[in-house]
């Protein structure tokens, strides 16, 4: 659980790096679409993290069996 919370905090910091272009940032923020972009990127990264953690658990289970 500790690893997941650390990963989540790192991902939140990473998503703020996407807002580099002032023109694009202003246009997306004015139309309210910036929040949609941030939510979708966050969902994708959380999904990938959960998938990788599930694979890790399966591999550990297989290694213990052998």
Confidence band (pLDDT; 50, 70, 90) for 41? Answer: very high
Domain total of the chain? 1
Confidence category of residue 16, pLDDT binned at 50, 70, 90? low
pTM exceeding the 0.75 threshold for the entire prediction: no
CB 4 within 8 Å of CB 53: yes
- CA 17, CA 51: separation in Å to the nearest integer? 24
* Residue range(s) defining the domain that contains residue 20: 2-65
Question: Quick one: angle between helices 22-31 and 34-65, nearest 10?
Answer: 100
């Amino acid at each position: 659980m500790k690893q997941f919370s650390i990963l989540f905090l790192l991902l939140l910091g990473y998503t703020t790096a996407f807002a580099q272009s002032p023109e694009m940032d202003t246009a997306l923020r004015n139309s309210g679409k910036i929040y949609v972009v941030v939510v979708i990127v966050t969902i994708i990264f959380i999904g990938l993290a959960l998938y990788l953690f599930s694979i890790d658990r399966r591999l550990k289970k297989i290694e213990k069996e052998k």
